A = this chain, B = another copy of it.
Amino acid sequence: MTTNRLEAFSDGVMAIIITIMVLELKIPDEQTWASLIPLIPKFSSYLFSFIYVGIYWNNHHHLFQAIEKVNGKILWANLHLLFWLSLLPFATAWLGEHSLNNRPPAFLYGCILLMCAISYALLEKFAIQHEGATSKIARAIKSNLKEKISILLYLSGILCSLIYPYLSLVLYYTVTILWLVPDRRIEKQHQP
């Protein structure tokens, strides 16, 4: 099976996820400057999650540039990733509901970010398995150090959220910066 439809479906789901988060920015009843202030935490969490989904789309794009065929296992690993990404709008909206400095939402947000990272790592693993050890993708992703650091940072953030929620957001944010640079490992492989 070719990767066309898997990419198209994932593009669709990620496009919807990235866009429905903005629906949580409820329009204020009044048309005054002051009525925008309570929206600041919601807007911050939206901005952060937009970047987050953007990173996943970017890496997904890079990953499937290097994959030529898929099997049932990869289809399900991809749906598994999309499932966790689909919970991001909920976690984002809850995080931004009143204050960013509350333990339960910061904890839940971290858990969902962690599950996204794990499911992405699984997808990568199955893809390498299916393509073979000498494939383009296997050569591109020799080390998954970045994935391991991310998972470690998420775990620290989740623990941290039980004491200092703000600090946990800083840890989650660090992962974002780590990944904002797209996956050069694959991009390099494309240039002969």
Name A residues whose Cβ lies closer than 8 Å to a Cβ of B. Answer: 1, 5-9, 11-20, 22-25, 27-29, 31-33, 35-36, 47, 50, 54, 57-58, 61-62, 64-65, 71-72, 75-76, 79, 82-83, 86-87, 89-90, 93-94, 97-99, 102, 104-105, 108, 180-182, 184, 187, 190
Contact = CB atoms under 8 A, between A and B. Distances in A.
Q: SS class of chain A's interface: helix, strand, loop or mixed?
A: helix
B72 A28 contact: no
Contacts of A29: 97
B86 A31 contact: no
A104 B36 contact: yes
Given A33-B104, A90-B27, A94-B27, A11 B5 contact: yes
Nearest to A14: B9
A24 B27 contact: yes
A86 B50 CA distance: 10
Contacts of A180: 76
A16 B87 CA distance: 14
- List the 9 shortest-distance A-B pairs measured between CB atoms, nearest first: A12-B15, A72-B182, A31-B102, A16-B19, A54-B79, A9-B11, A13-B15, A27-B93, A8-B11
